[in-house]
Structure 1
Amino acid sequence: MTGSAGQKRVPTPYFTEQLFPLPPLPEQHRIVAKIDKLMGRCNELENLRGAAIAKQTELLNAVMAQV
């Protein structure tokens, strides 16, 4: 279970011989839809954060120009 750089790794046969339980396909689709919705919200928040930082910089520059 150890690689050449001392990193632990799972042997390939483990994945070929093991059964991994998965939710039913409709549930998988529901999960993916929820994740997509949340990722969209994360993108919106990231854009809002960028706009807030830009506004903050703009206001700081305006104040500094008056000093």
Structure 2
Amino acid sequence: MTLLAILLPWLSFMLRGRILTGILCLILQITLIGWIPAAIWAVISLQEARENRRNRRLVRAIKNSNI
């Protein structure tokens, strides 16, 4: 998924259900200069989504262990 975020940043957003962000990223990616920031934005967003998913799992595990 990281490679997809680098090569086609807009598709990375679309596949994760962030349609408007994907459209904005596609508009940014149309220019060659805008492609680099779009790719960086997509990779950072992907990493944040992974961190959020991991944190939710940890919170769930902590709540379940206290019962």
**1:11-57 C-alpha deviation (Å, 9 max, x unpaired):** xxxxxxxxxx9622120111111011011111110110000010011
- Which runs of 4 or more aligned residues in structure 1 lie more than 3 Å from their structure 2 counterparts after TM superposition? none
Using the size of structure 2 for normalisation, the TM-score is 0.53
RMSD of aligned residue pairs (Cα, Å): 1.7
How many pairs align? Answer: 40
Using the size of structure 1 for normalisation, the TM-score is 0.53
Q: Percent identity?
A: 10
Q: Which has the higher helix share?
A: 2
- Is the radius of gyration larger for structure 1 or structure 2? 1
Question: Any stretches of 5+ residues in structure 1 without a counterpart?
Answer: 1-20, 61-67
Letter in 1 for 2:63: Q
Question: Any stretches of 5+ residues in structure 2 without a counterpart?
Answer: 1-26
